[in-house]
Amino acid sequence: MAQAAAFDQRARYDALMDVVRSRMTTRQFDPSYTVPREHYELILEAARHAPSGANAQPWHYVVVTKPETKKAIADYFVDEQRHRAKLKMKFPTPNYRGLETAPGMIVVASDFRWTRAFPVLLDGSELDRQYHENAERILLQSVAASTMSAHLAAAALGYNVWWVTAIGQENAQKAMKPLLGIPDEIAVIDIFCFGPPAKPPYKRWKKDLDEIASWDRFDPRQYRSLAQIDAWIQEKRSQVMYRDESKVD
Ligand X SMILES: Cc1cc2nc3c(=O)[nH]c(=O)nc-3n(C[C@H](O)[C@H](O)[C@H](O)COP(=O)(O)O)c2cc1C
Instruction: Write the single-letter amino acid at 222.
Output: Q
Find the DSSP H helices in 37-110: 37-48, 67-86
Cβ closest to ligand X, residue 60 vs residue 204? 204
Q: What single DSSP character describes residue 29?
A: B
Residues that bind ligand X (CB under 6 A): 24-25, 27, 94, 163-165, 204, 241
* Contact indicator for 218, 203 with CB cutoff of 8 Å: no
| Whole-number Å distance between alpha carbons of 191 and 107 | 5
Cα 166 to the center of its chain, rounded Å? 10
Q: Give the CA angle between residues 149, 16, 20 to the nearest 5°.
A: 60
Taking the complex as a whole, the smallest distance from the CB of residue 41 to ligand X amounts, in Å, to 23
* Contact indicator for 240, 199 with CB cutoff of 8 Å: no
**Gyration radius from the chain CA atoms:** 20
Q: Give the CA angle between residues 96, 238, 83 to the nearest 5°.
A: 40
Residue 191: closest CA among 206, 176, 208, 202: 176
Taking the complex as a whole, the smallest distance from the CB of residue 164 to ligand X amounts, in Å, to 4
